[in-house]
Chain A
Amino acid sequence: MEFLPARVDTNRIQPASRKTPVPVAAIETRQISKTFGSGDREVRALDHVSLEIRENEFFTLLGPSGCGKTTLLRLIAGFEAPTSGQLLLYGDDISNEPPYRRSVNTVFQSYALFPHLTVAQNIAFGLEMLGKPKAEISRTVDEMLAMVRMEAMAHRKTSEISGGQQQRVALARALAPHPKVLLLDEPLSALDLKLRKEMQRELKRLQIETGITFVFVTHDQEEALTMSDRIAVMSAGKPLQIGTPREIYDRPANRFVASFIGESNFLSATITAATGDVARVRIGGGIDMEAALPAEAPRSGKVTVAIRPEQVRLVEADAADALPATVTDTVYFGTDTHTHLLLDSGETVVARFQSTLAHSEERANGTRVGVQFWEGSVQVLRETA
């Protein structure tokens, strides 16, 4: 495939005498802030955002509506200028470059296809503006049409194709000039569930095939977890945590991340010892466990810990090393069953079990049980209790 980047191969076979170069980030934001309006109506859409997006990675901005995802994407594209801070593309400061001089393309949420042009003309647009030779343009357009499987539609007007097909044309149009970075703003949100799942796989395939860095925006945590190499979870104009899907899910650093992605139980705990990124904590005044300790978290005193519902284990009420509790409710979800528990300390815990035909994990309301957590499942949060 033509699009496998030659860069990666040359890096691997570089002369032994040269020191391994420090990898340059595809995109780097340095303390970027963006405010809209002024005075009373000032909105701080981005608040000192510093992050690095690596070459060839599928990077996702995840967060609730209004947290600044689109604003960050529009800054990278060049449609907005940062109020303060710097934006680097492969080490070059592009903060003041207009969008048409940035090797960055966007797949718009509304697709924004040109209605007066055919599918093929839409895909050719960027290449024509770059002044590529005719032969190269038609070859690339054919490749792109094949890549998104739209060959049969090449000469249709964009109003004559379905939403899913428009989506694919928008992708092909943005990929055709082979940009250094591709920006996608909730590209799948307008599609129905089945088509969305299909396009998720398709996007991932295209990203691997082209080797282009993707910056993907979504408010759908499942989409983010399944597609991304790394995720930045954003809230109120700030990335709260950046990491691989596993790091984000298994090691949420704060309460927002822990509750926005999946579900979590929050319990108060006391740190009794801390070494490196591991702490000993006493949970619910009853059990002592090892817990993961993120950077910038308190290293002593009272803290909050997060534990995923599927990491909760129910044992006999009088078992040692267990928190005594009462079953208050059982909710059946099909594949899972949730058991709601009231600890004797007054805190609540939800336990999740895979449903079995025998309903072996179901207990009547009022049943006395002991609550334990699987080893390694306890996560200290940055916020103090």
Chain B
Amino acid sequence: MSAVEISPAAGTDQEARAEAARTRRNWLLSLPAVILLLFAASGPLVIVLIYSFLTPGDYSGVKWIPTFDAWTSILFSRDIFDDTLRLADAHLTIFWRSASLSLLTTLITFLLGFPTAYFIATRPPRQRGLWLFLITIPFWTNLLIRTFAIMEVIRNEGLLNKLLMMTGLISEPLQILYSDTAVLIGMAYVYLPLMVLPLYAALERFDFRLVEAGYDLYAGRWMVLRKVILPLVKPGIVAGSILVFMPSLGAYVTPRVLGGGKHMMIGSFIELQFGQGRNWPLGASLSMLLLLIVGIGLFFYVRAMSKEKAHD
């Protein structure tokens, strides 16, 4: 009789044990993923972090002598005679160029991407898929190939110059290649889809009846855009800007190929440290700095978004 009777306490005990078993199994199941993340993502990061606090090796690699030199040399250069620190102008120029080119890239992709996303979002639902598909086609091609394609278009004997000469707008080919403009054109082209997609996602959720409400209440086109549409698709604008700004800050291939290496950006500068520069710790500290900037940016973005959500 008592064998079949289960006391309430025994019931909860059993449930707790089953729960524990479930938890254990879930952990075991996700173990491969956890290990992969730990070693594949965090591992290299830790190595880079450690290297940034070491002394450069004589030819390459590092010597295991701990120092903050790599970090200070990001901003300052040590005078070899009196050992005083001075601002490293060359480095600052590179940071400034990277930041301003990335900002300009973000701005240009926004100015081009917003009308594009708006256009797609206002198509009949059945057509939108096709337009989005077209937007994502460039992703199918290798970045390097896309960049060389741009090069082909803007070089002196390229498509653009030929067209402009044919129409008689210019008599001499424009030197666009290997300039900041070329880098900007290339980056805007490469990162445009990353702006269009989040903007589209926001605009697709936007209630276009509000545009009519705006017109009805005496707002012209510009005012409707400023006072109704932009405030409501702000999350998409922020997301798109971050998605474009962050990777363009560290972009390597496009500035390298189209800028011809003359106009260095952070990406090429880091590469330089691991190559000819033979200063791995500086390269490591620069990489960590970039990561930190991106991380801080993302942190504020996530916080702003969750605040916005809490408001609704």
Closest to B311 in A: A157
Task: Tell me if A65 counts as interface (CB < 8 A to partner B).
Answer: no
Give Cα distance in the complex from A105 to B312, angstroms.
27
> Does B218 lie within 8 Å of A98, measured CB to CB?
no
Q: Does B209 contact A (CB under 8 A)?
A: yes
- Closest-by-CB residue of B relative to A123 is B217
- A79 near B217 with CB under 8 A, answer no
Whether A78 contacts B215 in the complex (CB less than 8 A), given A100-B220, A108-B209, A116-B231, comes out as yes
Q: Does A77 contact B (CB under 8 A)?
A: yes
Looking across the interface, which residue of chain B has its beta carbon closest to that of A129? B218
Complex alpha-carbon distance, A125 and B220, angstroms: 12
Interface string of A108-132 (1 = CB under 8 A from B): 1010111110000000011001100
Q: Which chain B residues numbered 199 to 229 have a C-beta less than 8 Å away from chain A?
A: 207, 209-210, 212-220, 223, 227-228
Q: What is the chain B residue whose CB lies nearest that of A111?
A: B213
- Within 8 Å of chain A (Cβ to Cβ): is B48? no
CA distance A105 to B218 in the complex (A): 9
A108 to B312, CA, bound (A): 22
Residues of A within 8 A of B311 (CB): 157
Given contacts A110-B209, A112-B209, contact A105 B216 (CB under 8 A): yes
Cα separation A85 to B285 with both chains bound (whole Å): 73
Minimum C-beta distance from A196 to chain B (A) = 22
A100 interface neighbour in B207, B219, B228, Cβ under 8 Å: B219
Question: Given the interface contacts A129-B223, A157-B311, does A112 sit within 8 Å of B215 by beta carbon?
Answer: no
Give the docked Cα–Cα distance between A173 and B228 (Å).
15
| Interface members, chain B 208-256 (any A CB < 8 Å) | 209-210, 212-220, 223, 227-228, 231-232
Which A167-221 residues have a C-beta within 8 angstroms of B?
173-174, 177
Contact A105 B232 (CB under 8 A): no
Is A298's CB within 8 Å of the partner chain B? no
Nearest chain-A residue to B230 (Cβ)? A116
Is the CB of A159 closer than 8 A to any CB of chain B?
yes
CB of A123, distance to nearest CB on chain B (Å): 10
A228 at interface by CB-CB < 8 Å: no
Q: Do B218 and A112 have beta carbons less than 8 Å apart? A: no
In angstroms, how far is the closest chain B Cβ from the Cβ of A220? Answer: 22
Shortest Cβ distance from residue B85 to the other chain A in the assembled complex, whole angstroms:
49
A-chain residues with CB within 8 Å of residue B207 when the two chains form the complex: 110, 112
Q: Give the residues in chain A near B231, CB-CB below 8 Å.
A: 116
A177 x B217 contact (CB < 8 A): yes
Pick the contact of A79 from B212, B223, B228, B312 — CB < 8 Å? B212
- Residue pair A99, B209 in contact (C-beta under 8 Å): no
Contacts of A101 in B (CB 8 A): 218
Give the nearest-CB partner of B207 in chain A.
Answer: A112
Residue contact A130 to B218, C-beta cutoff 8 Å: yes
Q: Using A129-B223, A159-B312 as known contacts, say yes or no to A114 and B213 having CB atoms under 8 A apart.
A: yes
Interchain CB contact under 8 A, B213 and A112: yes
Taking CB atoms, residues of chain A closer than 8 Å to B213 are 106, 108, 112-114
Instruction: Report A94 CB to chain B, min CB distance, Å.
Output: 14
**Residue B215 contacts which of A99, A113, A116 (CB distance < 8 angstroms)?**
A99
Closest chain A CB from B207 CB (angstroms): 7
Q: Within the assembled complex, what's the spacing in Å between the Cα atoms of A37 and B218?
A: 29
Residues of B contacting A79 in the complex (Cβ-Cβ under 8 angstroms): 212, 215-216
Cβ–Cβ contact A129 & B210, under 8 A: no
Contacts of A177 in B (CB 8 A): 217-218
Which residues from chain B contact A159 at a C-beta distance below 8 Å? 312
Compute how far the CA of A114 lies from the CA of B227 in the bound complex, rounded to whole angstroms: 10
Provide the B180-210 mask, 1 if CB < 8 A to any CB of A, else 0: 0000000000000000000000000001011
Task: State in angstroms the CA–CA spacing of A79 and B212 once bound together.
Answer: 7
Contact of B217 among A78, A105, A115, A116 (CB under 8 A): A105
Q: How far, in angstroms, from A114 to B213 measured CA to CA in the complex?
A: 8
Q: Is there an interface contact between B219 and A112, defined as CB atoms closer than 8 Å?
A: no
Q: Which 5 A-B pairs have the closest CB atoms?
A: A126-B217, A112-B213, A129-B218, A99-B215, A129-B219
Having A110-B209, A174-B217, one finds 13 other A-B pairs with CB under 8 Å, namely A79-B216, A98-B220, A100-B220, A101-B218, A105-B217, A106-B216, A110-B207, A112-B207, A114-B228, A116-B231, A116-B232, A129-B218, A157-B311
Could you name 14 residue pairs across A and B whose Cβ atoms are closer than 8 Å? A77-B212, A79-B215, A110-B207, A112-B209, A115-B232, A116-B232, A125-B219, A126-B218, A129-B218, A129-B223, A129-B227, A159-B312, A174-B217, A177-B217
Interface residues in chain A, defined as those with a beta carbon under 8 Å from any beta carbon in chain B: 77-79, 98-101, 104-106, 108, 110, 112-116, 125-126, 129-130, 157, 159, 173-174, 177
